[in-house]
Amino acid sequence: MEYTLLFLETPAEMARGETADAPAYWGAWTAYMGAMAAAGVMRGGNALMPPATATTLRITDGKWAVEDGPFADTKEQLGGYVIIDVPDLDAALEWAARAPCATAGSVEIRPVMPNPPGP
């Protein structure tokens, strides 16, 4: 069964990627992604550029609003995601627990919809 792991990070954790701490930060993520690849569970995924690079579009009553920055000011921001293929939610949780941001943010686990309902 396919699950998407959404990696949510605190601003402080995300900032580590661009400071003197960067080697440790990226080392942990590289090891994590490598372990998923070695175990053969990874189906895809990406790391995302920081939230400051985001642009948000919203159309309300025909009015376009284009804003700099992410959709909302939340405590945690999306840093990346992977899609994994594992037997069940227990296994997905086990992989989520290994994410470096599990202790500095959170991981949201969502089943991938197998066949989106047609029209």
Q: Cα separation of 111 and 23, whole Å? A: 32
Nearer to other proteins, 18 or 94 (CB): 94
3-state helix, strand, coil in the chain (%, to 5): 35, 35, 30
Residue 39 dihedral angles phi and psi, to the nearest 5°: -80, -5
> What element of type H or E holds 9?
strand 2-9
Nearer to other proteins, 2 or 70 (CB): 2
Closest separation in Å from C-beta 35 to other proteins: 3
Nearer to other proteins, 7 or 32 (CB): 32
Closest separation in Å from C-beta 32 to other proteins: 4
Residue 117 burial class via C-beta count within 10 angstroms: exposed 0-12, middle 13-18, buried 19 and up: exposed
Closest separation in Å from C-beta 108 to other proteins: 12
Residues forming contacts to other proteins in the complex (CB under 8 A) are: 24, 27-28, 30-36, 38-41, 89-90, 93-94, 97-98, 100, 102-103
Closest separation in Å from C-beta 44 to other proteins: 17
